[in-house]
Structures are given as structure tokens and as C-alpha cells.
């Protein structure tokens, strides 16, 4: 079982493929002719996304998609998937991702995120599949000493259990490669994924009150919430609000497809930042989203949120040079697509 540079000969297991980043990546892979097997327990996603994927890619490509509702920590279920399909590579998205909740429920976060990764790689090993792309995060850089962040920037202690799970899973996968040089591991460190599929058929659909800025802003725009709460305007940034490197989810999805092609025939462990290289402040986001939705969105300044860093943005030279990948969408595009999704699906997939 090997990944080849021919997408139509490749079968990829996508854990968490019904989630925000997973679903967009599945669309890109299917459109390239890759066979996709999703394993998702739907604990934080909707099965309805599968119809949307079919609508976007069309009937022929959709035939190459199989969905299993299962927990990645369920070894028997995973074995059945590996027995039924010749999996060439795995893209591992499945995991809990709410930072605040992780502080309240550390055992659940460590057990789910790290436990499911261990179960997954053990099942992979048992079935001779040793290629994996892991959804890591810029959170592993912590509070940076220098910007922009390159892959050589040091990992810093995480500020919450969610961050530690990303940090530790990177180490676990790195240890696998040391122990068995046949493994082929790519760690993709995402900056802040936002936006939605340009069709308006897929987007981010958080359950409950959104923790992240963009879904919150989008819900203010659609009238589900009163005002954006801006967490701190006394940071050492041009307008005092936090600066992040927001990246369109379709660019991120393309980054996974590029990494998959790049991995073909390789072994080892490689890290790539996926961002745009541009920093944008909270107030700039509010302004850009206001322009996208056609009205000035109300906001209130609140105290800083614990654990937030002042600014981070990526140096994406490595991904450009090695993967041949570069982000194409700008902030206006991201807000336009996010608004298109939110305004046509005000209550997400269940609406
Ligand atoms: C957060 C996580 C990060 C995770 C990422 C997933 C923290 C400390 N970090 O990144 O580990 O990988 O989500 O997408 O939580 N903001 C507001 N009002 C809001 C929400 C956010 O002003 O209602 C501000 C924040 O202070 C920050 C910026 O918006 O300056 C972005 O916040 P957010 O979208 O939550 O992402 P991060 O905190 O960067």
C-alpha cells in the first residue's frame, strides 16, 4: 500500500471528515479523483454535510466516497474499515477542539484526542499503512518570540489541554518515525481557518456559543447574537486588538491535497505551516465582515481572554517551496464566503 502521485489510484481515510476542515478537504480530494473513506462519530458534526459534498462534487465523484459513523477510538470499527478498503494514507482531523472546554474537561480531551490517535496509528500499523497527515495547530508555537513563525520556531508550552494534545500528538508521531523509518508523517500547523465553500453549501457550524471569532461574528451578522465581544484592545498591535493569520478553509483543504501528493514515495516526519503570512486584527475582521454583509456590525470591547497571545502569523515559505502550495484567498474573500454560508444557512446544517 503506497500513495502514488496519481490521485485516482489513491484511497485516503479521513477521520473527522464531516467536520469543518475535514469536509472541505474531502471535496478537494474527491474532485481530484481520490477515493475517500470518512470515519466520523458525528459528535460535533452533521451527517447532512455528506449530501452537500455530493452536491458539490457531482454523482461520479461522490461514488468514490464511503462514510462510516464510528469513533476513531473504536479499534474494532477501525479494523473493519481497514479490512474493507485498501487505505494508502490517513488524514487525521478527528478530535475535540474547544479550548475553554478542554480546561474544564482535561481527561476527556487527553483521552479522546491522544487516545484516538494511538488507536488509529496502531490500526494503521497492523494493516501496513504508514502514511499520515495530522491536523496540528499554530497553538504549538505558544507566545512567539519572533514573527513571522517558521517551522523552525520553537514549540512553547501550551496554555490549555487542547493545545497540549496537539503538541503531544506531534511528538508521538515523530517518535513513530524514529522507531520505524518506514513511517511517513506530515504535521500541518494551521493558523486560523475561516471562510466556507464558495458555493455556500458547506461551512463552519459550531454547536452552542462559538468560541472562535469568525463564527461568532457571522452569527452577529445573521442576527443570532447581539454584538461581537472584542477580547482586549490594549495589546501591542496597531489598533490594540489581537492579530492572527486567518486562512480560507479552501486554501487549507488544497494544502492537504498538496501534502498528500508530496508525500508519495517519501518517509520521515515533516512539518509545514499553513497560513497566508498576513496578520489581521480583530477590528479589521469586524470591518471586513461588515463590508461583506452590508451593515456595520456592533461590537463591545471586553477584557483580554486568558491564554490569548498578542499576535501570530506564519512564514509559509516552506510550504510554497516544497509543496508548491500557496494561499490564494484574501480576507475579503474569506468574509464573503463565510457570510454567503451563514446567510443561506443561518442555523447551520440543521437549519
Ligand atoms: C484558538 C485557539 C487555538 C486553536 C484555534 C482553532 C486559544 C487561546 N487558541 O485560536 O489553540 O487552534 O482557536 O481555531 O483559544 N476574539 C474576540 N472575540 C471573540 C473570539 C475571539 O475578540 O468572540 C479574538 C481573540 O482574542 C483573538 C482572535 O479574536 O485575538 C482570534 O480568536 P479565535 O478565533 O478564538 O482563535 P485563536 O484564539 O487565535
CATH number of the domain that residue 181 is part of: 3.40.50.720
Q: What's residue 350's pLDDT?
A: 86
Res. 96: pLDDT tops 60: yes
Mean pLDDT of 10-27: 98
Give the mean pLDDT of 226-255: 98
Average pLDDT over residues 44-69: 97
Ligand 1 within 6 A of CB of 213:
yes
Q: Do residues 77 and 71 lie in contact, with contact meaning Cβ atoms separated by under 8 Å?
A: yes
* Percentage of the chain lying above the pLDDT 70 cut: 99
In this prediction, residue 9 carries a pLDDT of: 86
Whether residue 71 is contained in a domain is answered as: yes
| Average pLDDT over the chain, rounded to an integer | 96
When pLDDT is cut at 50, 70 and 90, the band that residue 2 belongs to is low
Catalytic residue among 68, 109, 162, 313: 162
Residue nearest atom 13 in ligand 1 by C-alpha distance? 212
* pLDDT of 7: 76
* Residue range 117-167, pLDDT digits in tens: 999 999 999 999 999 999 999 999 999 999 999 999 999 999 999 999 999
Query: What pLDDT was estimated at residue 70?
Result: 98
Q: What integer pLDDT is reported at residue 3 of this predicted model? A: 67
Cβ-proximal residues to 179 (8 Å cutoff; 6+ apart), any chain? none
Over the stretch 282-336, which tens digit does the pLDDT of each residue have?
Answer: 999 999 999 999 999 999 999 999 989 999 999 999 999 999 999 999 999 999 9
218 occurs within a structural domain: no
261 domain-assigned: yes
Beginning with the edge strand found earlier in the chain, give each strand of the sheet holding 184-190 in spatial order: 65-69, 35-40, 11-15, 89-92, 131-137, 184-190, 268-274
On whether residue 206 sits in a domain, the answer given is no
The Å distance, Cα 213 to ligand 1 centre, comes to 6
Half-sphere exposure of 312 (CA within 13 A, CB side): 22
User: Which residue range forms the structural domain that includes residue 151?
Assistant: 9-195+247-275
Q: Is the pLDDT of residue 207 over 90?
A: no
Report whether 66 contacts 38 (CB < 8 A): yes
In a domain, residue 79? The reply is yes
Each residue of 216-230: pLDDT tens digit?
999 999 999 999 999
Contacts with 282 (C-beta within 8 Å, 6 or more apart), sequence order: 213, 228, 230, 231, 241, 242
In a domain? residue 212: no
245-271: average pLDDT: 97
Nearest CA owner, ligand 1 atom 36: 212
Please check the confidence at residue 14 and state whether its pLDDT lies above 70: yes
Q: Total domain count for the chain?
A: 1
18 in a domain, yes or no? yes
- Give the pLDDT mean for 37-52: 97
Q: What average pLDDT score do residues 16-39 get?
A: 98
Q: In terms of pTM, does the model score above 0.95? A: yes
Give burial (CB, 10 Å; 0-12/13-18/19+) of 208.
exposed
Ligand 1 pocket, residue 215 CB under 6 Å: no
Q: Which of 1-10, 172-181, 199-208 has the lowest mean pLDDT?
A: 1-10
| Residue 1 scores a pLDDT above 60 | no
Answer whether residue 36 is part of any domain. yes
State the pLDDT confidence band at 5, using cuts at 50, 70 and 90: low
Q: Is 246 an annotated catalytic residue?
A: no
Enclosing H/E stretch for 300:
strand 299-302
Amino acid at each position: 500500500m503506497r500513495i502514488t502521485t496519481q490521485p485516482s489510484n489513491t484511497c485516503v481515510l479521513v477521520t473527522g471528515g464531516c467536520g469543518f476542515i475535514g469536509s472541505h478537504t474531502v471535496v478537494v480530494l474527491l474532485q481530484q479523483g481520490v477515493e475517500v473513506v470518512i470515519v466520523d462519530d458525528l459528535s460535533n458534526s452533521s451527517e447532512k454535510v455528506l449530501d452537500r459534498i455530493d452536491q458539490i462534487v457531482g454523482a461520479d465523484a461522490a461514488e468514490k466516497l464511503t462514510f462510516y459513523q464510528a469513533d476513531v477510538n473504536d479499534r474494532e470499527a477501525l479494523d473493519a474499515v481497514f479490512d474493507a478498503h485498501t487505505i494508502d494514507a490517513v488524514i487525521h482531523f478527528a478530535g475535540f477542539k474547544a479550548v475553554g472546554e478542554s480546561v474544564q474537561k482535561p481527561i476527556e480531551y487527553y483521552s479522546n484526542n491522544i487516545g484516538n490517535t494511538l488507536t488509529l496509528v496502531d490500526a494503521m500499523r497492523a494493516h501496513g499503512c504508514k502514511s499520515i497527515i495530522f491536523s496540528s495547530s499554530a497553538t504549538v508555537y505558544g507566545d512567539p518570540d519572533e514573527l513571522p513563525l517558521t517551522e523552525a520556531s520553537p514549540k512553547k508550552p501550551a496554555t490549555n489541554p487542547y493545545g497540549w494534545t496537539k503538541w503531544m500528538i506531534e511528538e508521538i508521531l515523530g517518535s513513530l518515525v524514529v522507531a520505524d523509518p518506514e513511517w511517513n508523517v506530515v504535521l500541518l500547523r494551521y493558523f486560523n481557518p475561516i471562510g466556507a465553500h464558495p458555493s455556500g453549501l458547506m461551512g463552519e457550524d459550531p454547536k452552542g456559543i462559538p468560541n472562535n471569532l469568525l463564527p461568532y461574528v457571522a452569527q452577529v451578522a445573521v442576527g443570532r447574537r447581539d454584538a461581537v465581544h472584542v477580547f482586549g484592545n490594549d495589546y501591542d498591535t496597531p489598533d490594540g486588538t489581537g492579530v492572527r493569520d486567518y486562512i480560507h478553509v479552501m486554501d487549507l483543504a488544497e494544502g492537504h491535497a498538496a501534502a498528500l501528493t508530496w508525500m508519495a514515495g517519501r518517509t520521515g516526519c515533516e512539518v509545514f505551516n499553513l497560513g497566508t503570512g498576513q496578520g489581521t486584527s480583530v477590528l479589521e475582521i469586524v470591518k471586513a465582515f461588515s463590508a461583506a454583509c452590508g451593515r456595520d456590525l456592533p461590537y463591545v470591547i471586553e477584557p483580554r481572554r486568558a491564554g490569548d497571545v498578542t499576535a501570530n502569523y506564519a512564514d509559509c515559505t516552506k510550504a510554497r517551496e516544497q509543496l508548491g502550495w500557496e494561499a490564494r484567498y484574501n480576507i475579503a474573500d474569506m468574509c464573503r464566503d463565510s457570510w454567503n454560508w451563514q446567510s443561506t444557512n443561518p442555523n447551520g446544517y440543521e437549519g
